[in-house]
Structure 1
């Protein structure tokens, strides 16, 4: 009797079968801010696929804290270096588009990052627009209502000056 071959579904088939039943994936994001003469400014970037305004975000790693991973995303996507808080200020949800017109639910845990420098050259140079906005305008620019609320309510001085956080390491050097 011939051996039965086990059929394994493709990743696309699995995603299709799990649509609506897939548990949310965790991402981390950075609210990059700077203090200006007339108040706090928040940096937004455009997404590479749709061009909508978003914050830098991506996948956490096992080797580093979530805050470090959020700071790494700010560096890779916008060339921002600064001090990141280890304390999350909230989260928002969205659906990440994947191949084949499908999407997967994601929860983004958000960390504030006070920018001290913006590099001219970074991994995603030229792939996105980067712009600083007042809080209210930043909130109006983003599509996700939960992220808009976080941006509107964001005040780095609400609880006094944020504690000095350790610097993160980018490509073997301290940033």
Structure 2
């Protein structure tokens, strides 16, 4: 292979990981949503896979950096969703994101991306209505029925 960058085919997808931070609130399970840095849409903490870390560990790192939360990360994904990531040059990269529930035990007052994002606890229905990705919305709505160590 030469030193040239390898161009991805239009059909290839970038694999990412995400955390779905949750807690038990007054009306049952709630999830912590954050805004994306550029479009300010409601999303969940996500990012690329990390060398030397399992996918659940990488998802937990994203939750701490992007949402300022720490806790117990599930070792099994509850599902995956797809989205089209807009790159700075205007290109679009298709991504598939495995989602790992994170039971929040610590919510920090200051965290690495606090100045760049808003975070808000939402009911499952409100969170599902707030996201733009249909697969993610369906996963959030179905999270009430996912067996976890509440």
The 3-state SS of whatever aligns with 1:48 is: coil
The equivalent of 2:95 in structure 1 is 106
The equivalent of 1:161 in structure 2 is 149
The equivalent of 2:69 in structure 1 is 80
| Structure 1 residue 128 corresponds to structure 2 residue 117 | yes
RMSD, matched Cα: 1.8
Larger radius of gyration: 1
Choose 34-43 or 106-115, whichever is displaced more.
34-43
1:22-41 equivalence runs, <5 A: 22-41=11-30
Q: Which runs of 5+ in 2 are unaligned?
A: none
Higher RCO (Cα < 8 Å, 6 or more apart): 2
Choose 36-45 or 129-138, whichever is displaced more.
36-45
The equivalent of 1:143 in structure 2 is 132
8 Å Cα contact 1:22-1:104 kept in structure 2: no
| Structure 1 residue 119 corresponds to structure 2 residue 87 | no
Cα-to-partner distance string for 1:3-54 (whole Å, 9 max, x where unaligned): xxxxx8778xx46xx4xx2410100001100011321111110000100000
The whole-number CA distance in structure 2 between the counterparts of 1:160 and 1:52 is: 28
- The alpha-carbon deviation at position 160 of structure 1 amounts to 5.6
Counting matched residue pairs gives 148
- The alpha-carbon deviation at position 161 of structure 1 amounts to 2.6
